[in-house]
């Protein structure tokens, strides 16, 4: 199964993507994790991406698209995958479609986790205190939410038009959200 997971920062998308990938025995690809790894290793990509990430801004499309293209063309995705954190802009969604068309890959579903802004700010503040991730301060969290609404939310319509969008309410326990996702995938 080939999936894209969508949802605002703090929606639980990353956690659910890991669980669902494990359950379905498919690959979990998180652009956030890939970028944090690149920053840690001090690669050229990491050095360019770091400043954007710290501010809660999106890393420029061409950097991200190149990173994903390497995965798509390497055949790593042949047993199925969940893309988590990509695409995040309309140009990214369009490039992905082109990459998939060129490599005979089709997306089965785009899963959107819905969570209210109020709940998101609450969750991100909690996470900031626990994990101390550099991009989890309240100001940066608000900026990330703003960036999501402006730049990422439009791709929900992109997938709705492709008739593969499925929405799951993300304001429930982790287990219930997980069950709801598995249920929607079996339809």
The catalytically annotated residue of 13, 19, 109, 123 is: 13
Site for ligand ADP in 155-184 (CB under 6 A): none
Cβ-proximal residue to ligand ADP, closest one: 32
Site for ligand ADP in 69-88 (CB under 6 A): 85-86, 88
Q: Strands 81-84 and 165-169, how do they pair?
A: unpaired
Which residues neighbour 51 within 8 Å (Cβ) at sequence distance 6 or greater? none
> Considering beta carbons, is residue 126 or 183 the nearer one to ligand ADP?
126
Q: Which of 9, 77, 81, 111 binds ligand ADP (CB under 6 A)?
A: 9
Sign of CA dihedral 48, 49, 54, 59: positive
Helix axis angle, 31-41 to 44-55, nearest 10°? 120
| 53 binding ligand ADP? (CB under 6 A) | yes
Q: Which of 5, 17, 21, 32 binds ligand ADP (CB under 6 A)?
A: 32
Given the rule CB under 6 A, which of 52-60, 72-80, 104-112, 174-182 is the region that contacts ligand ADP?
52-60
CA distance 128 to 136: 5
Site string for ligand ADP, 129-148 (x = CB under 6 A): ------x--------x----
Does 144 participate in catalysis according to the annotation? yes
Residue 111, SS3 per DSSP: strand
Q: How far is CA 81 from CA 2, 45, 78, 117, in A?
A: 5, 23, 8, 28
Site of tokens 């785009």:
110
Residues carrying an active site annotation: 13, 88, 127, 133, 144
Q: Give the footprint of ligand ADP on this chain (CB under 6 A).
A: 9, 13-14, 31-32, 35, 52-53, 56-59, 64, 85-86, 88, 92, 135, 144
């Amino acid at each position: 199964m080939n999936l894209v997971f969508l949802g605002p920062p703090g929606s639980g998308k990353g956690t659910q993507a890991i669980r669902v990938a494990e359950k379905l025995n498919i690959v979990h690809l998180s652009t956030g994790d890939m970028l944090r790894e690149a920053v840690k290793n001090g690669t050229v990509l990491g050095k360019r991406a770091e400043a954007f990430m710290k501010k809660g801004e999106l890393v420029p499309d061409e950097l991200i698209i190149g990173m994903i293209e390497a995965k798509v063309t390497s055949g790593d995705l042949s047993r199925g995958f969940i893309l988590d954190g990509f695409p995040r802009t309309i140009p990214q969604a369009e490039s992905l479609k082109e990459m998939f068309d060129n490599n005979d890959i089709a997306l089965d579903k785009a899963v959107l986790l819905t969570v209210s802004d109020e709940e998101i700010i609450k969750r991100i503040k909690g996470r900031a205190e626990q994990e101390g991730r550099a991009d989890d301060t309240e100001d940066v969290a608000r900026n990330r939410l703003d960036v999501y609404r402006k730049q990422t939310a439009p791709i929900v319509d992109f997938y709705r038009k492709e008739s593969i969008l499925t929405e799951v309410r993300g304001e429930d326990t982790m287990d219930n959200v997980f069950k709801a996702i598995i249920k929607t995938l079996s339809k």
